[in-house]
Amino acid sequence: MPFAAFAGEPAAAPMEPTPAAGDWFVGATYGMLEADSNADNVADGEPYNLVDPKVEEFEFDMYTLHFGRDLNQKFLGCDLAAYAELGYITGDATLQDFGRAVTNLDIEIIPITFNLKAERELYAGIKGYLSAGIGYAFTDYNDNYSGDDGSDSGFYAQAQIGLAYDINENWEIYGGARWLYLGGHDFGDNGVELDNSLGYEIGVRYHF
């Protein structure tokens, strides 16, 4: 019988499944941050020596772009992803004496980080996420009081927490809080230092 000729032959190996869409992604965010600083102490000392010093908080606008990949792995029930991010942060603080503006210290920061994200679906396409990353930041400053300007670079770290929503198979939107840490960057002879920054952000991500 014709079937007997094939009786001893091994069955064909099953084909490997085609990788699912959504392994790679790109995204962008916009956020607003407030930074802790020692500017109050600086205004009361060198180089300003203000009699009635008042300092506005450093407020920053932050824009980021990122590119990464879903790792198709789980940790404590969360989906893991890794991504690289490029940011642009700009802001200033005003020093005042007797209600009169004395100077503005303008600061720009460009951080480059590598991040790991954990995400878990909570309900009907709504997901909670937590991410953290480390990298390097390049800073530029301009002190309008002394005319001093310059640049620096150094260690940078960040963490994010928030909620995301899948609009469809490819697009998602998200929003939450972001924490930043600058490691001892120099902002000139004024002695101003930035420490932690905390704020909120919104973003969009495309999976392909």
In tens digits, the chain (208 residues) has pLDDT values of 454 444 555 555 555 444 444 489 999 999 998 877 666 666 666 666 666 666 666 788 999 999 999 998 888 889 999 999 999 999 887 777 666 666 677 889 999 999 999 999 998 889 999 999 999 999 888 877 667 778 888 899 999 999 999 999 899 999 999 999 887 676 766 667 777 788 999 999 999 9
pLDDT of residue 19: 42
Sign of CA dihedral 166, 171, 177, 183: positive
Residues sharing a CB contact under 8 Å with residue 12, sequence separation 6 or more, in sequence order:
none
pLDDT of residue 6: 47
pLDDT of residue 36: 73
Q: What is the set of domains in the chain, with CATH numbers?
A: 28-207 (2.40.160.20)
Find out whether 124 and 165 touch, Cβ atoms under 8 Å: no
Residue 80, exposed/middle/buried by CB under 10 A (0-12, 13-18, 19+)? middle
